[in-house]
Structure 1
Amino acid sequence: MPTRILRDGILTSERVNELGALEEVFYRRLMSVVDDHGRYYGNHSLIRAACFPLKLDKVSDSDIGKWLLVTEKAGLVRQYLATDGKRYLQLIDFGQRIQAKSKFPEPDGDSLDSTVIHGDSPCDTGNNGLVVVEGGVVVEGGKAHTRKPRVTKTALADDFGISERVQAWAKEKGHTRLPEHLESFRAKAKANGYTYADWDSAFMEAIRNDWAKLGSSQKSTVSNGNSVAASRPL
């Protein structure tokens, strides 16, 4: 389990003060399992097993879901959907020393845009309780590192279709049955309220991971050096 530095700023944090006793215990336990970037799986069962290994009979998945919503509303946690179609979470203003690359995908273009983080940051890293963000550069303890600019995510447009970019990519990679992939992708995106900064990239990822469950027939096969069409036409 990673070592965490927990500053006394958590005691005076207005955001933490919004939590009830159970939610605060959950939040503090969550700090112990996230990686250096403050990220972890968003699956409630995985969070429950990691945070409450000795209380599995007392804490339910629904409890985890309720506590996540409360901490998210308080501005302490964000949940996000990555391009792999899975949900993850990230602690906001985690402020730990980053020693390893995250094994979890980062929020796509969803970086924090606050300009100054004071002692209200629950995981304040020191530096007199101040982290200054200037022109996309975070100055912390005399060291600076760049922060990616915020990219706006949007909901699926009603007229979203198969662009020339996607067609060219699919042809190069051998993917077929694009209309069926599109139908599945649109349905899933609408049903789950997905938002992306780049919908073409998200669609290509869905095709690559076969969201439509078309199996091997989604690609053309090769016989005697000649391309043979998939079992169902586009």
Structure 2
Amino acid sequence: MGRIRTIKPGFWTHEDLSELPPETHMLAAALLNYADDEGYFNANPKLVKAACCPLREDSVSVQESLTRLAAIGFIRLGTGSDGKRYGHIPTFQRHQRVNRPRPSEIATREIAWDGAPGDSCPPLTEDSVNDHGTITDDSMGEGKGMEGKGTTSAPSGAGEEAKRSGPNRAAYPEEFEQAWSLYPKRDGGNPKAKALKAWRARRKAGIPAEDLQAGVGRYARYVRARSKEGTPYVMQTATFFGPDEHWRESWSADPPPDDRKRQHPTGGWGDHTLVDFSAREGQG
């Protein structure tokens, strides 16, 4: 039975979801209606199709779409002790406010989630799925649904924190994790998978990890000295590690001499000292 849910506008511009086939992106939205009030659902492809897209003949199968959504962390899939396949949207309860929610029957079952053989996992907590590189309340506008106020999120490089704390953590080298943790936060998307791809390209080219990390440190001080952390003026990490080699720049935390002449009366520095990278992302 379908349920009324809330979807933020940013759901449709989310980078990781938008890289998937249109049918898969649409299914991600439909799963919000299909899932129960705690974000769990029966992942039998035939049942999913009957509930989510009964009249469509899509070029991408429901099974393939579910697999793709699990790969980016939007959902997780597992097998119950009854042999049936189940799914869960990890960030569902954080971003949906359901009026008079019904307890999930699936949540009480023993489920071995894919990627953790033999492990019966409880629902993910807010801490286990929170990540500064996902769709967050900062990167997507507020929304209201008929079942209550709420927001809908899809993890960017989605579910990255869940990946860090789970069995896939090895996918991210420790030296990269150190740089990632130091990198200034930004308002907007910041896909971790793309950042890792750019990092590996630089490492393959012979760039020492220490040089890349040092560049992150300089850039972080530069951004914070201008009070721009958490704004669109911070470039995506993938762009920073990209072929333009922004990590090589000096990124002096001191205002340039010309900017001192244009100091504001309050003692602050003008926004002209930084470029809005939100319009340039994707070029690296």
- What TM-score do the two structures reach when normalised by structure 1? 0.46
Looking at secondary structure, tell me which structure has more strand per residue.
1
TM, length-normalised to structure 2: 0.39
